[in-house]
Structure 1
Amino acid sequence: MRNVLYLTAALAAAAATPAFATNADGRLQVKVLATGVLPDGKIDDLKKNLVGIPAGSQTKANDNVVPTLAIEYYATPAVSVETICCFTQHHVNGAGPLAGTDIVDHVLILPATLTLKYHVNLGPVRPYVGVGPSLFIIFDEKPGATARALGATRVKMSNELGLALQAGADVPVSDKGIGVTFDAKKYFMNTTAHFYTASGVEALETKHSLDPWVVSGGAYFRF
């Protein structure tokens, strides 16, 4: 929440500063956003289970709010490509028979995403839709307290390629290329978690559906 407050203050200061050489017809657009990342994290497939977790066991990843930077290039007034930059951190807890357990701590994700967008100019509101590939790069994950109690000393979650669908709207607040923006993305993305013992034996392998909703709001500056 502190990050969101800092980001809101920065957006207000930037929008009030006349030093930006913005241009409503420019080809480059930069967005500064507060972003909510709302993943699923459920188990789709239990591939290996040497530790004997109960049938019907499930997991859930927590939500997070992070600052995000988006950079967009307009090939035409209606067609653009956009990429985003952010890191989001999560942990995975048990559900169902595993309720109350701590499975994975400190999962850091870089969602490298590139979308092709189509814009409609409706005057005061400029809605758009987009679609494109996304690569989730996952690192620094650690076994949670419950996984460690079962003998797991290391966990590795696979990097995966998936798809992102996007919709949103840009709302100009001046004729100089400054406005507010709202964006929602639905990702279709899986990952496989491998849990290893101190001797290097893979004791548990689970496939998870991440499929997060990613919702953002902030300011844009077009140059």
Structure 2
Amino acid sequence: MKAVFLAGLAVAALSSTPALAQDNEGPLQIKVFATGVLPDGEITQVNTDIVGLPANTQTKANDNYVPTIAIEYFFSDNFSVETICCLTQHDVDGTTGLPGAELVSNGKLIPATVTAKLHFDVGGIKPYVGAGPAYFLWIDDEPGAATIPLGVTDFNLSDELGFALQAGFDVPLNDKGLGLSVDAKRYWVDTTATWFAGNTVAIQTEHKLDPWVVSAGLSYRF
């Protein structure tokens, strides 16, 4: 991915930068990020279809770019636990079968995530890896414009439990706790999309979300 490649370039560039010592590092770190949420959205299974979708119908969820906040607690210099706060919004459109058709509109998602992280110290750059559970909570979702003529009156995306892997690095910018942080997460989580015509399930499909979530921003440890 382009974002991961750029993060790698940043690591290489920063590896030649002299380390800045941080005095009296505290256990709490807050990060403010600019974040790209890059989901899949592919249909993996069709459970119900009473409207007759084309046999080769496939979908893709759009990317979104949002601000995020991460809160991290260090139990030691090498081990921490982190959670993130984020609200992201996505549409799902047809790619084949119904190319360009809007099937899901304004799906608002909270990807609640907690990761346990191992940290390393490499000449002032502090890379880390992490893993943990994620719960994808949809707080709003609407049927796309292309489904309304089919008689669809309501729509639902299921909340689901998934898993995330994480890698990134922190770089101190001064001795007061301010730093630079770059982070990448890969999620594995699905959802069930259900379109209703009145009280009848008109279409129900399983979707692979599996987003990349790539972030860069400032951190403050105290």
TM-score, normalized by length of structure 2?
0.89
Match of 2:28 in 1: 28
CA distance in structure 1 between the partners assigned to 2:138 and 2:125 by the alignment: 36
Q: CA deviation at 1:23?
A: 5.9
Please state if 1:203 is matched with 2:192.
Answer: no
- Establish whether residue 67 from structure 1 lines up as the match of residue 67 from structure 2: yes
C-alpha distance in structure 2 between counterparts of 1:168 and 1:137, whole Å: 25
SS at match of 2:97: helix
Q: 1:18 is matched with which residue?
A: none
Q: Give 2:111's aligned residue.
A: 111
Q: Aligned partners of 1:104, 1:142: CA distance in 2, in Å? A: 6
User: Partners of 2:176 and 2:195 in 1: how far apart?
Assistant: 53
1:221 is the counterpart of 2:213: no
Contact 1:73 1:81 survives alignment (8 Å): yes
Measure how far apart 1:139 and its partner are: 2.3
Name the residue aligned to 2:55.
55
- Decide whether the 8 Å contact of 1:103 with 1:147 is kept in 2: yes
Question: Unaligned stretches of 5+ in structure 1?
Answer: 1-21
CA distance in structure 2 between the partners assigned to 1:77 and 1:197 by the alignment: 55
- The alignment yields a C-alpha RMSD, in angstroms, of 1.0
CA contact (8 A) 1:33 1:68 kept: yes
Taking only the aligned residue pairs, the percentage that are identical comes to 52
Superposed, 1:1-223 pairs within 5 Å as 25-198=25-198, 200-223=199-222
C-alpha separation in 2, matches of 1:98 and 1:34: 33
Once residues 66 and 122 of structure 1 are traced to their aligned partners in structure 2, the CA distance between those partners, rounded to angstroms, is 30
Shift of 1:187: 0.3
Note the alpha carbon deviations across 1:126-175, whole angstroms, 9 max, x for none: 00000000000012100011111111110000000000000000011112
Alignment length, in residue pairs? 201
**Whole-Å separation in 1 of the counterparts to 2:24 and 2:212:** 30
Residues 219, 46 of structure 1: alpha-carbon distance in 2 compared, 3 angstrom cutoff: same
| More displaced 10-residue stretch of structure 1: 110-119 or 142-151 | 142-151
The farther-off stretch of 171-180 and 185-194 is 171-180
Counterparts of 2:157 and 2:77, CA distance in 1: 40
SS at match of 1:99: coil
Contact 1:23 1:222 in 2 (8 A): no
Q: Give me the whole-angstrom Cα distance separating, in 2, the residues matched to 1:23 and 1:153.
A: 59
Shift of the alpha carbon at 1:24? 5.1
The runs of 4+ residues in structure 1 deviating greater than 4 Å are: none
C-alpha distance in structure 2 between counterparts of 1:123 and 1:43, whole Å: 45
Q: Please list the CA deviations of residues 97-129 of structure 1 after superposition, one character each: whole Å capped at 9, or x if unmatched.
A: 110211010100000000000000113210000
Asked if the contact 1:39–1:63 (Cα under 8 Å) also holds between the matched residues in 2, the reply is yes
Question: What secondary structure sits across from 2:148 in the alignment?
Answer: helix
Change (3 A) 1:66 1:24: farther
For 1:214, the aligned partner's letter is V
Q: TM-score, normalised by structure 1?
A: 0.88
